[in-house]
Amino acid sequence: MRRGIAALTLAAAITVSLTACGSDGSSGAAGSGPVTITWWDTSDATNEAPTFKVMVADFEKANPDVKVTYVNVPFADAQSKFQTAAGSKGAPDVLRADVGWTPAFAEAGYLAPLDGTDAAKDAAAFQPNLVRQAEYQGKLYGIPQVTDTLALMYNKELFAKAGITAAPTTWDELKADAAAVKEKTGVDGFAFNPQGYYAMPFLYGEGTDMIDVDGKRITVNSPAAVKGIDTLKALVASPGVAKLDTTSNGYADVMDAFGSGKAASIVQGPWESANVFKSQAFLKNDNLGIATLPAGSAGKAGAPLGGHNLVAYAGSDAAHQAAAQKFIAFMTSANSQVYTAGKNSTLPTRTDAYTPEVTRNLGIAGYQKVLASGQPRPELAQYSSLYDPLGTELIKILSGQESTKAGLDNVAAAAKKLIPDYATR
């Protein structure tokens, strides 16, 4: 039975004065009735959006002074559409923004700071490393709505058949485990999705990143980064590891192999948990193991933090911004996050939303344990744009078409074009 979001005490308690005039073309001028705000939701239209539509209706019931025009915008189009709309002063009052977009939009002046507003009144309840991804130059520009990170997903039954009693803690241990699984069960012990985002743990494992913000340097081709990608290259070429799939269907093929029991482990995020639990190998949900990714030679384990922030458009007038703040507070409240987690199997961003009800979901409980190893993205507007050149060169490197150093030098050159004020090696 659906839980009663309309009864959320936090949202009901928030009071905001909505006395200013409405934005051009929007309803809600002073004394004329409810203020109407527009929300662009970038969630999956089929699997996630229905949950948010219910929450919008519940918000309106609890807050009759605000109406919400809900628009589902495909995630792939949302960044460019918001940029265009914001540039012409026609952007939505609230946007569900990927964490990687927040610095760029803030730098462009498209977002309203939320420090000291009702939207941020519970900021202390959110996990600090997630709040960092909503900040830019000392100001808070978003409230974390949902988060994710990468972990090692593994098939406990296949590991047990190979005599493996615990998840690997180093990449060398994973290589040995993959070989053992292949020898004892005949299936691949590990499969890797060759995209730039999935390669980041190998950089973090060597204590480096693609860039160094404090030193304003491009580090993606540093000796440490080369060592990290060399570790990945050796891993995917090891016995017991699935042949690298560089086709356009590579992602789906890796997931199919894992779900059917033809691959014993993968690097993946919680957004696939619900699908994994529906697959043949994991109909018994407790067969899925979720562990912190192995550490590199620096003794560090790390994975990129992802997720989405709710941000407010700076071009809205005072009345619409106040209504937007009220809406953001409602949608990111503890009760709202409990409801969202229950319906969409996504990870809350607040510590008080990990209730016993939520953590009964084994996927959420598993990823909650690995969130501490998540690495916030640097506060750089262009950072997320570096994943594409890294992914392009990664395929060439892992396929033996070019050396690791040459490929990463190409990534560094692409980065230099994006951030010309950063020094290269």
pLDDT reading at 8 higher than 80: no
C-alpha 389/C-alpha 383 separation (Å) is 11
Tokens of 327: 């809406």
Question: Whose CA is closest to 153, among 290, 294, 293?
Answer: 290
Range list for CATH 3.40.190.10 in the chain: 5-148+306-375, 149-304+379-418
pLDDT reading at 21 higher than 70: no
Span 203-227, pLDDT tens digits: 999 999 999 999 999 999 999 999 9
pLDDT reading at 16 higher than 60: no
Fold for the domain defined by 149-304+379-418: D-Maltodextrin-Binding Protein; domain 2 (3.40.190)
Across the range 289-298, mean pLDDT stands at 96
Percentage of the chain lying above the pLDDT 70 cut: 92
Question: Whose CA is closest to 242, among 231, 233, 254, 230?
Answer: 254
Pairing relation of β-strands 35-41 and 94-98? parallel
pTM (2 decimals)?
0.86
Q: How far apart are the first and last CA of the chain?
A: 58
pLDDT at 11: 33
Span 225-279, pLDDT tens digits: 999 999 999 999 999 999 999 998 999 999 999 999 999 999 999 989 989 999 9
Place of tokens 């620096």: 298
Which class is 5-148+306-375 in CATH? alpha beta
Span 97-133, pLDDT tens digits: 999 999 999 999 999 999 999 999 999 999 898 999 9
- Position 333, amino acid: S
pLDDT at 17: 29
Q: How confident is the model at residue 33 (pLDDT cuts 50, 70, 90)?
A: confident
Judge contact between 37 and 324, C-beta under 8 A.
Answer: yes
Judge contact between 295 and 205, C-beta under 8 A.
Answer: yes
Mapped onto helix, strand or coil, the DSSP state of residue 345 is coil
pLDDT at 274: 87
pLDDT at 425: 73
Across the range 399-413, mean pLDDT stands at 97
